[in-house]
């Protein structure tokens, strides 16, 4: 607290003189009309050129290694490792002190979700740009406020009498006093006391999450109207007075017990929405009236069947203007997300994007009356507006349009089906004041992919609401099932920012994990070094402790380790510790993670463990070697894909584990059989050549000069590890040719020679979404087993093909057995790990066999049904009621026999029963005359089958079912009686 006190006592005469010297002209030079591009560049240049901030590019909207977020939703997301004290000390990020950028943000889903507000008002968006400046242990409140006020009033020329400032009023329950320091800074700057407004935790205390860095914030609000006292309108969520800039002062850490401790390093995190700032500087109350949106609204109007956008909200007849805003907002979000590798899908961020796309499509088609393809045709307009600052939009424009068009076509089909289902359900309801069945809403969501908010919206337009109590119950049941599937997944013991600061403060050195790379190859056998270490620190999940007891789960930090921590897409090592003096007690290592230069081994203590203990680390060498094999194979696969498919192939993700590797990459469509074979052949050629795998640490800037270097969207340490297959890294540094070789920045553990991979088989290749494919591959013995399984399945398909072509089955029983064999073999081909190219070939052949066998079965069934129908006609004649039994086990033959009898005797009410020899049940099928039926076939079947404890169903003309029991004489008698009674009525 001493630091806060010193800041309060520090004289602020410099600020007083600075702002008293300003001329009135600087507060009245506001000229609306500054283009959005200039607004953005002015912000960045102000902090970069005038205040020495480093310009850091926007990160992609898909978070880097942060499972707590669906999307990047604030400018600070990419800097969380700094705030949490986990930045790799060798990376450039660890050196950041003053930073500025414009970050692409998406707020749709998760804690910050503006999706349902978009379109209803004129200032909420799912995608927006966040302008921000940061200080990491450099300047604090005084400088941050000074810079903000200077930029807004002097450089942007916003009149000071339009601005209001809020600050934190304190919270007695949390033991937090009012932020009088910030209030005094604003007073010294020249903000009138009546424009300085105190607010509580909700408005003016910012927290990263339930735990972690947090602190008071001060917000700057703008009054669009002016010439009045608008202080009562601040933070009322009205359109006239809006927040434009939030300055967060990170000075506390929230612990798991909700207590607050001062951080060892104070930081500043500010955020200002570009869209709102542009509306202020262009003199517009609506963000949609600025040049960030007007070209889009014009393009939408050109393609729609309604009038132009007029900006209405509350009295928006037909929701036309709402639809304009929704489509304009959503196409920006879709374009940015797809360009960054997020595609509409079925879970997580992909599911949210799917909802956004479907919402946009519905407003386009139903409200704006625009033709199919309209949404994708807006992409070029988005790239014209944003492409200069985010060039990936230009590069990916064609792919973005393809993804949108494909998903639109899928949704329009399900939209029609879903709309019909809604109409049918509403028609069955007695009155519109009833609640809509939650089961139907859940079916729309689960089976047709309807976002639940879209279901609500469609029903709201009809004055009906969903039974949310029932819907919540169904969702909870679904969630319970999903949780049970993931049972056993435990959260990791991760150091918090305070514990990391304590480690640094106590002088605990970063973990030396260089031993993970110090293995050798001795006559085709990998030798891993022994590792003896000292326990430097223990973390019990909440704080650092000196000792843990038996059964306690903890994080163990050692002076050195040979274990690999999970990073770079590679699974962590497995193994255990033994303690000096207690060699027969094993401490299994459950996970290994990296945090701020420390390697944390997660252990459930098998006995007591304390700091200073000496331990020996026992690495699961088979697991490590398997990961090394898969990781090196992944690099070779990356190279092979580029050689076969061309240089446009880009890695989109990967994961390496002991049993298989997964690799995601950009490609137009699914790979052909020929391409899959070529890729495998290319990989296995490199494996057979037993090429040497080279690695070397280099300064990051030097490594980036290597021609053909492959990187992914990661924050790399400096120096960085370069892994090259077949060519020494030193040669690549000097080589200016474009020779094809695998060279990547990678922190993973690799083989020393490629021959240890033995073999690679691609067992799966499928498109995750349009333009992104995923390969799953196995190596070594698993690859050999996959090839063997493929050979066996291929022989089985050959055998069936030969049987079919040699002599077509002549009996129905043999044809049905053959069709069943084809179905069983198809399941085996679909689900057995075999080469994917072979799977595709076998699946194609089996589909042909299935069609042929099904055709043969249908012909034989029809022939057998004709024979049986003729015999029954000869036996019974053409009666009004024709009820009899048939000797068959085939429901299809039974139904076909009924059909043929009805065709031959169109005035007959026909029902046939067939006893099934093996199940102890009987089959029932019936049909009534098409013209003037006396009763419904479904009622007849239900009556007969229910008599014997069975079930039935069908239509008014045709029905079928099953009953229990081997004696069907009673059922036959009741069937005749039921029919004759109905006819007489």
Give CA–CA dist 52/39, Å, rounded. Answer: 19
* Total domains present in the chain: 6
Residue with the larger pLDDT of the pair 17 and 260? 260
User: Average pLDDT, stretch 782-787?
Assistant: 90
- With a cut of 50, say whether residue 215 has pLDDT above it: yes
- With a cut of 70, say whether residue 24 has pLDDT above it: no
440 in the same domain as 419: no
Q: Can you spell out the DSSP letters for 48-75? A: IIIH-PEE-PPPPSS-SS-TT-SS--ST
Residue 349's alpha-carbon distances to 64, 486, 668, 903, in angstroms, are 13, 19, 22, 56
Last residue of a domain, one of 240, 269, 291: 291
571 in the same domain as 550: yes
Give CA–CA dist 936/178, Å, rounded. Answer: 78
- Listed range (287-296, 372-381, 850-859) with the worst mean pLDDT: 850-859
How many C-beta neighbours within 10 Å does residue 788 have? 11
State residue 23's pLDDT score: 31
- With a cut of 60, say whether residue 482 has pLDDT above it: no
Residue with the larger pLDDT of the pair 374 and 493? 374
For residue 707, give the CATH number of its domain.
3.30.980
Last residue of a domain, one of 240, 275, 291: 291
Residue carrying the six token digits 């420390």: 598
252 in the same domain as 142: yes
Q: How would residue 492 be classed by pLDDT, with cut points 50, 70 and 90?
A: low
For residue 211, give the CATH number of its domain.
3.30.930.10
State residue 67's pLDDT score: 66
- Residue 223 half-sphere exposure, CB side, CA atoms within 13 Å? 18
Cα of first residue to Cα of last residue in the chain, in angstroms, is 95
Q: Reduced to 3 states, what is the DSSP secondary structure of residue 132?
A: strand
User: Exposed/middle/buried for 161, CB within 10 Å: 0-12, 13-18, 19+?
Assistant: middle
- pLDDT tens track for 92-126: 899 999 999 999 999 887 655 667 788 888 888 99
Who contacts 11 (Cβ-Cβ below 8 Å, separation ≥6)?
none
Last residue of a domain, one of 745, 762, 790: 745
How many C-beta neighbours within 10 Å does residue 612 have? 9
Give CA–CA dist 775/139, Å, rounded. Answer: 48
State residue 738's pLDDT score: 67
Domain for residue 134, yes or no?
A: yes
- Listed range (12-21, 250-259, 338-347, 772-781) with the worst mean pLDDT: 12-21
Going by their DSSP bridges, the two strands 54-55 and 98-106 should be labelled as: parallel
pLDDT above 70 coverage of the chain, percent = 92
DSSP 309: P
State residue 218's pLDDT score: 98
335 in the same domain as 375: yes
Q: How would residue 807 be classed by pLDDT, with cut points 50, 70 and 90?
A: low
219 in the same domain as 95: yes
297 in the same domain as 286: no
State residue 32's pLDDT score: 58
Domain for residue 8, yes or no?
A: no
544 in the same domain as 465: no
The b-or-e profile of 912-921 (16+ CB within 10 A means b, else e) is bbbbeeeeeb
Please give the mean pLDDT across all residues of the chain: 88
Is 394 labelled as part of a ligand binding site?
no
Going by their DSSP bridges, the two strands 909-915 and 881-885 should be labelled as: parallel
Domain for residue 224, yes or no?
A: yes
State residue 151's pLDDT score: 97
Give CA–CA dist 417/449, Å, rounded. Answer: 11
- With CA atoms as reference, report the closest residue to 58 among 80, 88, 78: 78
The secondary structure element, H or E, covering residue 924 is strand 921-927
Q: How would residue 711 be classed by pLDDT, with cut points 50, 70 and 90?
A: confident
Domain for residue 757, yes or no?
A: no
State residue 496's pLDDT score: 84
pLDDT above 90 coverage of the chain, percent = 58
Give CA–CA dist 341/550, Å, rounded. Answer: 46
- With a cut of 70, say whether residue 31 has pLDDT above it: no
Peptide linkage before 820 cis (omega within 30 of 0): no
- With CA atoms as reference, report the closest residue to 314 among 465, 461, 119: 119
Residue with the larger pLDDT of the pair 446 and 560? 560
Is 746 labelled as part of a ligand binding site?
yes
The secondary structure element, H or E, covering residue 333 is helix 320-339
Residue carrying the six token digits 């398909």: 797
Q: How would residue 439 be classed by pLDDT, with cut points 50, 70 and 90?
A: confident
How many C-beta neighbours within 10 Å does residue 836 have? 26
Is 682 labelled as part of a ligand binding site?
no
State residue 724's pLDDT score: 95
Q: Can you spell out the DSSP letters for 522-534? A: ETTEEEPPPEEEE
256 in the same domain as 215: yes
User: Exposed/middle/buried for 572, CB within 10 Å: 0-12, 13-18, 19+?
Assistant: buried
- The sign of the torsion formed by the CA atoms of 74, 75, 81, 84 equals negative
For residue 541, give the CATH number of its domain.
2.40.30.130
Domain for residue 186, yes or no?
A: yes
- With a cut of 90, say whether residue 418 has pLDDT above it: no
- Residue 133 half-sphere exposure, CB side, CA atoms within 13 Å? 28
Domain for residue 764, yes or no?
A: no
Q: How would residue 457 be classed by pLDDT, with cut points 50, 70 and 90?
A: confident
349 in the same domain as 446: no
269 in the same domain as 137: yes
Domain for residue 940, yes or no?
A: yes
- pLDDT tens track for 864-901: 999 999 999 999 988 899 999 998 888 999 999 999 99
- pLDDT tens track for 943-975: 999 988 899 999 999 999 999 887 888 899 999
608 in the same domain as 633: no
State residue 20's pLDDT score: 35
Is 631 labelled as part of a ligand binding site?
yes
Highest mean pLDDT among 451-455, 549-553, 925-929: 925-929
Per the structure, the complete domain to which residue 310 belongs is given by 292-425
Domain for residue 826, yes or no?
A: no
353 in the same domain as 476: no
At residue 713's C-alpha, the angle toward residues 711 and 717, to 5°, is 75
Give CA–CA dist 569/774, Å, rounded. Answer: 15
CB 72 within 8 A of CB 78: yes
- The sign of the torsion formed by the CA atoms of 748, 750, 754, 760 equals negative
Q: Reduced to 3 states, what is the DSSP secondary structure of residue 262?
A: strand
Report the DSSP beta bridge partners of residue 722: 696, 745
């Amino acid at each position: 607290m001493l630091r806060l006190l010193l800041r309060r006592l520090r004289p602020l005469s410099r600020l007083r003189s600075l702002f008293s010297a300003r001329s009135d002209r600087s507060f009245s030079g506001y000229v609306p009309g500054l283009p959005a591009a200039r607004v953005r560049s002015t912000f960045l240049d102000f902090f970069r050129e005038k205040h020495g901030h480093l310009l850091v590019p926007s990160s992609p909207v898909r978070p880097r290694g942060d499972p707590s977020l669906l999307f990047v939703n604030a400018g600070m997301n990419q800097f969380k490792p700094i705030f949490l004290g986990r930045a790799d000390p060798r990376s450039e990020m660890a050196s950041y002190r003053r930073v500025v950028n414009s970050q692409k943000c998406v707020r749709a889903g998760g804690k910050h979700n503006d999706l349902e507000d978009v379109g209803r008002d004129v200032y909420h968006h799912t995608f927006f740009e966040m302008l921000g400046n940061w200080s990491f242990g450099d300047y604090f409140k005084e400088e941050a406020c000074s810079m903000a006020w200077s930029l807004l009033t002097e450089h942007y020329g916003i009149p000071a009498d339009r601005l209001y400032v809020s600050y934190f009023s304190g919270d007695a329950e949390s033991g937090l006093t009012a932020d009088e320091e910030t209030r005094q800074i604003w007073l010294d700057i020249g903000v009138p006391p009546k424009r300085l407004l105190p607010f509580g935790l909700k408005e003016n205390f910012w927290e990263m999450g339930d735990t972690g860095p947090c602190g008071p914030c001060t917000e700057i609000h703008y009054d669009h109207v002016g010439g009045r006292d608008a202080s009562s309108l601040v933070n009322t969520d009205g359109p006239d007075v809006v927040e434009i800039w939030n300055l967060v002062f990170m000075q506390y850490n929230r612990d798991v017990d909700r207590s607050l401790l001062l951080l060892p390093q104070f930081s500043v995190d500010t955020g200002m929405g570009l869209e709102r700032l542009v509306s202020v500087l262009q003199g517009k109350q609506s963000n949609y009236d600025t040049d960030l949106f007007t070209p889009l609204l014009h393009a939408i109007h050109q393609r729609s069947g309604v009038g132009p956008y007029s900006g209405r909200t509350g009295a928006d007849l037909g929701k036309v203007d709402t639809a304009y805003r929704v489509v304009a907002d959503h196409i920006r979000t879709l374009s940015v997300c797809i360009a960054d590798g997020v595609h509409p899908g079925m879970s997580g961020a992909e599911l949210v994007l799917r909802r956004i796309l479907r919402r946009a499509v519905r407003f386009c088609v139903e409200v704006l009356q625009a033709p199919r393809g309209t949404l994708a045709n807006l992409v070029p307009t988005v790239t014209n507006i944003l492409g200069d600052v985010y060039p990936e939009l230009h590069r990916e424009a064609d792919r973005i349009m393809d993804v949108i068009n494909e998903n639109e076509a899928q949704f329009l089909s399900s939209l029609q089906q879903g709309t019909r289902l809604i109409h049918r359900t509403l028609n069955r309801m007695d009155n519109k004041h009833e609640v809509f069945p939650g089961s139907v809403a859940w079916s729309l969501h689960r089976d047709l992919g309807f976002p639940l908010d879209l279901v609500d919206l469609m029903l709201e337009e009809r004055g009906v609401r969903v039974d949310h109590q029932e819907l919540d119950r169904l969702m909870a049941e679904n969630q319970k099932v999903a949780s049970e599937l993931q049972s056993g997944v435990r959260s990791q013991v991760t150091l918090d920012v305070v514990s990391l600061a304590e480690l640094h403060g106590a002088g605990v050195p970063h973990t030396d994990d260089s031993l993970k790379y110090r293995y050798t190859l001795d006559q085709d056998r990998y030798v891993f070094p022994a590792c003896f270490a000292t326990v430097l620190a223990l973390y019990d999940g909440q704080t650092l402790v000196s000792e843990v007891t038996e059964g306690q789960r903890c994080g163990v930090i050692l002076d050195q380790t040979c274990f690999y921590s999970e990073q770079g897409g590679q699974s962590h090592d497995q193994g255990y510790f033994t303690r000096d003096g207690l060699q027969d007690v094993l401490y299994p290592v459950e996970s290994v993670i990296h945090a701020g230069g420390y390697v944390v081994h997660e252990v459930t203590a098998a006995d007591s463990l304390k700091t200073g203990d000496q331990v020996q680390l026992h690495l699961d060498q088979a697991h490590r070697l398997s990961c090394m094999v898969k990781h090196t194979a992944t690099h070779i696969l990356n190279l092979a894909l580029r050689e076969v498919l061309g240089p446009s192939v880009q890695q989109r993700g990967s994961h390496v584990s002991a049993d298989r590797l997964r690799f995601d990459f950009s490609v137009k469509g699914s790979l052909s059989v020929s391409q899959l074979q070529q890729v495998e052949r290319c990989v296995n050629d490199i494996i057979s050549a037993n090429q040497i795998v080279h690695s070397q640490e280099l300064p990051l800037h030097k490594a980036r000069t290597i021609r053909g270097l492959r990187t992914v969207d990661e924050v790399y340490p400096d120096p960085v590890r370069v892994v090259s297959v077949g060519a020494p890294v030193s040669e690549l540094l000097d080589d200016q040719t474009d020779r094809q070789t695998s060279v990547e920045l990678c922190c993973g553990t690799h083989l020393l020679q490629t021959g240890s991979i033995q073999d690679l088989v691609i067992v799966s290749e499928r498109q995750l979404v349009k333009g992104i494919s995923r390969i799953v591959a196995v190596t070594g013995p698993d690859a050999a087993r996959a090839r063997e399984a493929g050979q066996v399945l291929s022989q089985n398909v050959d055998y069936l093909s030969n049987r079919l072509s040699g002599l077509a089955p002549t009996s129905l029983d043999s044809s049905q057995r053959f069709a069943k064999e084809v179905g069983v073999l198809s399941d085996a081909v679909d689900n057995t790990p075999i080469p994917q190219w072979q799977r595709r070939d076998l699946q194609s052949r089996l589909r042909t066999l299935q069609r042929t066998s099904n055709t043969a079965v249908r012909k034989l069934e029809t022939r057998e049904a004709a024979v049986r129908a003729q015999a029954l006609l000869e036996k019974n004649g053409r009666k009004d009621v024709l009820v009899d039994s048939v000797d068959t086990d085939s429901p299809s033959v039974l139904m076909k026999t009924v059909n043929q009898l009805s065709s031959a005797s169109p005035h007959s009410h026909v029902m046939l029963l067939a006893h099934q020899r093996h199940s102890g049940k009987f089959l029932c099928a019936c049909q009534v005359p098409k013209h003037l039926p006396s009763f419904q076939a479904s009622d007849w079947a239900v009556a007969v089958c229910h008599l014997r404890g069975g079930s039935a169903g069908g239509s008014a003309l045709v029905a079928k079912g099953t009953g229990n029991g081997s004696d069907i004489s009673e059922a036959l008698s009741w069937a005749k009686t039921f029919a004759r009674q109905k006819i007489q009525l």
